[in-house]
Structure formats: structure tokens, C-alpha cells
Structure 1
Amino acid sequence: MTAIAATSAIETAALRSDRFRLEREGDWQRLEAIVARMEKGRLRGIADEDLLDLPQLYRTVASSLSIARETSLDGATLAYLEALVQRAWFVVYGPRSSLWEWLRAFLGGGWSAAVRAIWLDVLVALAVMVAGVVVGWLLVAHDPEWYFALISRPMAGERVPGASAEVLRATLFGHAERDGMSRFAAQLFSNNAQVSILAFALGFALGIPSLLLLVHNLALLGAMGWLYHGKGLLLDFAGWICVHGTTELFAILLSGAAGLHIGRAVAFPGERPVLEATAAAGRRAALVMTGVVLMLVVAALLEGFARQLVDQTAGRFLVGGFMLLLWCAYFFAFRGNAGPRSRRSAR
């Protein structure tokens, strides 16, 4: 009797499993076909009706999986449903674009749109940077000892008050001093990269540290401008800086603006809660900073190669001016596609 009962129970379970599968198998197969096409990237071959029904089909199959687990249906059915639900989840809720698609959307308008969205902060940061140059110039003009308060002696090297015009000119032109100039350029780039990161990271403190960093960093540039101006080499120094500076200083400008944008959201959240306003500003600023990293890499390449290869002031202005026009055109004239391009979603 025991064997007969066990056999009967097995037959009953099998019938229940078959009936369960037959009642729902149509939805499973339909979902599997849609998922298979989407996994292969064949979106054009999927009917609009199937895309619209995709979320409902996913929920139906997920419900079937839950019932199968509770009623202990056969292992094959359970394994099939688990695999199908997992695949469908990635299609319905997974990433909508690849890294290449994200990068194309980022460079194709997402980055420039984020910069334009913080235009007010960019203007404030620009004014602060100009003020920093003026402050640095006036400080060392009043007392040359301020020069070493702004620029460390190792970083300054031969570029010190009292240096002759020949010595200062040698730091700007010629191949013999390439190693020394490259070392100084590397130090300057490292300093500016640190300033960019800190200006953004400290923005939460109402943006005040970000602005102070911009003033200090540009005061360094103002002090050096005063030094070269005293020997009639200001134009040559400006050309030397211009090659990479129009990119590097633009990156510092954007990082300071991004930090200020976050600080402004903390101080003036408007009608939204502070956390909500700060989170929105943080996402926008983070997008800007992603591009700042790219700009710093470009500046490093210009600093390491273009400035050494172009040994004339006019040519340096040409390279730097072209880069400045390129960045301005991209940020303020180019619109592109501000939103990320994604697959047709049926969420």
C-alpha cells in the first residue's frame, strides 16, 4: 500500500506540474523569444506590442517561479524559470547602454549640457580666478617676498625675483633646458590637478574653500606674470602658458564651478529639501568633473609635447588659442544630444 501511495503521489505531482506548465507555457515561450532577440541586439525585429507587454510578461513569469518554488514542482521546470527570470531581469531592469554608447552620449552633448547648466557658477569662478591673478601680481609688486609665499623655491627654480632676462628667457625657449622645463611643467600640472580635485571635493562647505583655492592657485600665476613682466617677457611667458593653459585653466575653472554649484545648492536649496537639491547638484557637478579629468589629460599631453615642439611665441598662441576656441565652441555652441541614447525601453 505504501508503494502504491507513493506512486500515486508521484503521478499526481507530475500531472500538477504538467498542467501548471501547459497553462503558462505560452507566456514563458513568448518572453523567452523577446529576451533572446534583445540579447542579440535585434530590436527592429520585435513588435511594438511585444515591447509594451514585456514588463507584464516578466512579472507573470516571476510569479510562476514563485509558485513553482512554493509547490515544489519538478526541478527541470524550476531551473528553466529561474534562468528565464534572470535573463529577463537584465533586459528589463539592466543597463540600457554599453560603455561606448555612454561615452558617445557623454561627448555628444551630455557633458556640454552639464556645463551650460552651471553657467552662473562658471561666471563666478571665472571672476574669482581673474581676481586671483590680480591679487598675486599686486602682492609681489608691493613686496617681492610674497613671491616665495606663493611659489615654493623648488618649484620656482631659476624663476626668482632678481633673475636676469637671459635666465628667464632660457626657461621659455631652447632645447637645452627641456629637462628642467619639463620638470617644472610636471610640478605645475600636479599642482593644478590637485587644485581641481580639491575645488570640487570641498564644494559642500558652501563653496567657500573652492573659491579660496581658485584665488590662491591663480595668485601663483599672477606672481609669475609680474616676474616676467619686469624683464619684458610677459608676452613670451603668456605664450608659454597658453599652449596648455587654455585647457588646464579651463579645467580648473570648471572644477571650481562644480564645487561652487554644490555649495550653492546647500546654501540655497530653493523650494526643494536640502538633500534633494544637493543630490541633484552633485550629479550634475560629477558629470562636469568627469570631463575635467579628460581635459587634464589633454592638458598633460599639450604640456609634454606641444609646448616643447613649438618654440615660438606666435605658434604657442596659435595652439593655445585654437584649444580655447575648441572648448568654448563645444561647451557653449555645440548642442548635440544632451540625453543619453538608449535602447527602446518597455519599462
Structure 2
Amino acid sequence: MTPLQFENTYRPIWDELDQALEHLEGAPRTKKDDKGKRRVDKASKRPATRIAALYRATCEHLALARSRDYPTHLTVRLEALTERAHQAVYRAGDNSLARLGQLVLVDMPQAVRAHRLYMWTALALFGLPLVIIALLCYFDPGFVLSVQDINTVREFDAMYGPSSNPVGRTRSAGGDWSAFGFYIMNNIGIAFKCFAGGVFFGLGSLFFLAFNGAVIGAVAGYLTYKGYTQTFYSFVVTHGAFELTAIVISGAAGLAIGHALVAPRRLSRPQALRKASADAVPLMYLATAMLFIAAAIEAFWSSSRWIAPEVKYGVGGLCWVMVLAYLGWQGRPRTVEAAHAG
């Protein structure tokens, strides 16, 4: 879709939102009827639910315009319109919960879809090394020593081999809260490296995505060869839905920053960096939230041997479906026709 086609398709939605906002701001538009009398435009009398729906649709259009690098005048208009709508929708009373809901239910999944090119690239950079190294370690278990040292490999055997201890660790169950804190720090550290590496023209993000994919692949391939499949996969399946997705999202944010520095287009590099960083903020909010969820699951659920592996597989599968559905469909405008309906 060309910028002109995009604008012609969605301009009625933007005009309707603009008119409704002018009414809320105290300057309702008027139109002349067939008899020459001036009447208030009905579009400016939209209820709050209608304005919220128009706002969500316009946010989606802004994300698309940014991702497709449409002309500046178009993105500037949409930015101004969404900013006005945001203030109108959330200006009354204590709106912290409403803003949080907007961020979680609309802004974050829309940001993921707006960065879908970077998401797919990050997934490939992370997933391909993971699969390749996993296969190499499975067919040649000695290859794991090319990625991990011998002491770490022995720890894998102790953590995932036959034992009465909680799976995935050598500590006691009383250390769950300590483990929770450790997992948060460790996971956020990985995500931050994948994101911050973008300032090196994307090369840092590329490296950390591939490196972490290789490390995880080495563990998976080696433990699969050893026959510890039930303990290992039942341990990682649930929190992996959030942790692995968060790593990919962080890497995608870093790649977006790197691309802005490599190809700033009509902006200076500092301007391109600021814009890309601002667009990536919802991605990092989402990645951070997912890592907290992953840490809690890993500390209190994944490591528990009293939970049957079949239950963990079922819950893990449900978590993967929920994560993918959230990223793919949450926060979408219903349809263009619905946005035109009065």
C-alpha cells in the first residue's frame, strides 16, 4: 500500500477522531445543512467508547506508518492526533490504571507488530544457532565442550539427572525466593545486552542473540543425548514461553536501533537514534514484564518435582498459545468497517 492509498483509506477515521476531539476540547465543528443553517457535526458528539475505539485504530495506523517509513507529514499528523486523543481519553481523575491497561493491552502488542521485520530477524538470529548447535551436541555430545566448560557440563548432569532435588538446580526448596531474585537479574542482564548492543550499529544485538541461542542449544542437545528429556523439557517448557520470547523482543528492539543508526534516512543519526529508542520503549516494557513472569514461574513452578511432567507440558503449551495470541492479535482494531460505523 502506497502512502497515498494508506492516507485515502484511513483519513475518514482520522477526521472523525479529530472532530470528536475538537468537541471535547470545547471547539465543536459546525457544518451547513441543505438550508444553509450551521449545525454541530454529529461526528463531534461521539461517545467516549467510540473515541477510544478511534484512538486505538489511529495508534495502529501510526505504528504502521512508522514501520513502513511513510512521509514525515503523515506520521507527524498521526502523532499529534494520538497525543491529543490520549490526553482526552485519560485526562479525567486518577488514570494510572487506565494508562497501564492501555500500555499492556494496546501499546505493547502493537509495538511488537510494528517491529515485525526486526522480530523475525531476531528470531532467526536466535533460533537458527539454537537448532544447529543442539543438533551438533546431540549427534556429537563432545561438541558441548566447544560452548561450555567441563564444570558447567557436570552441573547440567547434576541438575537434570536422576535426583530427589528440585529439578533444574542443586539448591533446596527453601531458596525459592533467592532463586527468583537470581533469575530476574540473570534474565534481565541477557535482555539488556541484546537491546543495548543495538547502539553498535546492531552488531552487539546480533552477537548476543546468536550467542545465547547457541548456549541454550548446547544445553538442549547435550541433555537430550543423555536421555534427560523429561526432566529438562518439563522444566523449561512453561517459563520458556516468556523468557525466550522476551530475549527475541529485546534483540528486535536492539536491531531496530542499529538499523536506525545504519540507515537514518532523512534524519541525523542522533535524531534517528532518539526516534528508534522511543519506539522501542514499549518493547522493553514488555520484555521486562515477561522476564519477571518467567523468573517467578522458574523459581516456584518449573523446579518442582511434585508436579507431574504431563501437567507442566499442558500448562506450558497453554502459555505458549497465550503469548503468541497476545502478540499476534491483542490490541488490533476490529475492522476498518467497524471504525467507520457510527
Q: 1:297 to 1:181 in 2, by over 3 A?
A: closer
Aligned partner of 1:326 in structure 2 is 322
Is the contact made by 1:113 and 1:335 (CA closer than 8 Å) also made in structure 2? yes
Q: Measure the CA separation in 2 of the matches of 1:49 and 1:231.
A: 66
Aligned partner of 1:51 in structure 2 is 26
Q: Measure the CA separation in 1 of the matches of 2:197 and 2:25.
A: 49
Q: 1:50 to 1:307 in 2, by over 3 A?
A: closer
Q: 1:150 to 1:202 in 2, by over 3 A?
A: same
Aligned partner of 1:63 in structure 2 is none
* Alignment equivalent of 1:131, drawn from 128, 132, 155: 128
1:143 Cα deviation after fit? 6.8
Q: Equivalent residues in 2 for 1:296-315 (5 A)?
A: 296-309=291-304, 311-315=307-311
Q: 1:179 to 1:148 in 2, by over 3 A?
A: farther
Q: 1:224 to 1:329 in 2, by over 3 A?
A: same
- If the length of structure 2 is used for normalisation, what is the TM-score? 0.61
Is the contact made by 1:136 and 1:222 (CA closer than 8 Å) also made in structure 2? yes
Where does structure 2 lack aligned partners over 5 or more consecutive residues? Answer: 1-21, 29-86, 335-342
Q: Measure the CA separation in 1 of the matches of 2:220 and 2:25.
A: 66
Where does structure 1 lack aligned partners over 5 or more consecutive residues? Answer: 1-46, 54-91, 339-347
Is the contact made by 2:196 and 2:204 (CA closer than 8 Å) also made in structure 1? no
**Structure 2 SS opposite 1:311:** coil
Tell me the percent identity: 25
Aligned partner of 2:106 in structure 1 is 109
Q: 1:151 to 1:127 in 2, by over 3 A?
A: farther
Q: Equivalent residues in 2 for 1:218-237 (5 A)?
A: 218-237=213-232
Q: Which amino acid aligns with 1:224?
A: V
Q: Deviations over 1:25-50 (max 9, x none)?
A: xxxxxxxxxxxxxxxxxxxxxx9598
Q: Which has the larger radius of gyration?
A: 1
Q: 1:164 to 1:263 in 2, by over 3 A?
A: closer
Q: Measure the CA separation in 2 of the matches of 1:181 and 1:223.
A: 26
Q: 1:149 to 1:214 in 2, by over 3 A?
A: same
Q: Equivalent residues in 2 for 1:74-223 (5 A)?
A: 96=91, 98-137=95-134, 140=137, 142=140, 144=142, 146-147=144-145, 149-150=147-148, 153=151, 158-160=155-157, 166=162, 172=167, 178=173, 189-223=184-218
Aligned partner of 1:288 in structure 2 is 283
Higher relative contact order (CA 8 A, sep 6+): 1
Q: 1:171 to 1:229 in 2, by over 3 A?
A: farther
- The runs of at least 4 consecutive aligned structure 1 residues that moved more than 6 Å come to 173-176, 180-186
Q: Measure the CA separation in 1 of the matches of 2:121 and 2:24.
A: 51
Aligned partner of 1:241 in structure 2 is 236
Q: Which amino acid aligns with 1:292?
A: A
**Structure 2 SS opposite 1:269:** coil
Q: Measure the CA separation in 2 of the matches of 1:227 and 1:332.
A: 33
Q: Measure the CA separation in 1 of the matches of 2:149 and 2:175.
A: 17
Aligned partner of 1:270 in structure 2 is 265
1:325 Cα deviation after fit? 1.2
1:317 Cα deviation after fit? 1.6
Q: 1:151 to 1:177 in 2, by over 3 A?
A: farther
Q: 1:164 to 1:126 in 2, by over 3 A?
A: closer
Q: Deviations over 1:309-346 (max 9, x none)?
A: 562222112222211111111111122579xxxxxxxx
Q: Deviations over 1:202-252 (max 9, x none)?
A: 211111111211122222211211221122222441221112111111111
Q: 1:110 to 1:175 in 2, by over 3 A?
A: same
- If the length of structure 1 is used for normalisation, what is the TM-score? 0.61
Q: Measure the CA separation in 1 of the matches of 2:144 and 2:282.
A: 37
Is the contact made by 1:164 and 1:231 (CA closer than 8 Å) also made in structure 2? no
Paired residue total: 250
Q: Deviations over 1:272-294 (max 9, x none)?
A: 44333322211111111011111
Is the contact made by 1:140 and 1:147 (CA closer than 8 Å) also made in structure 2? no
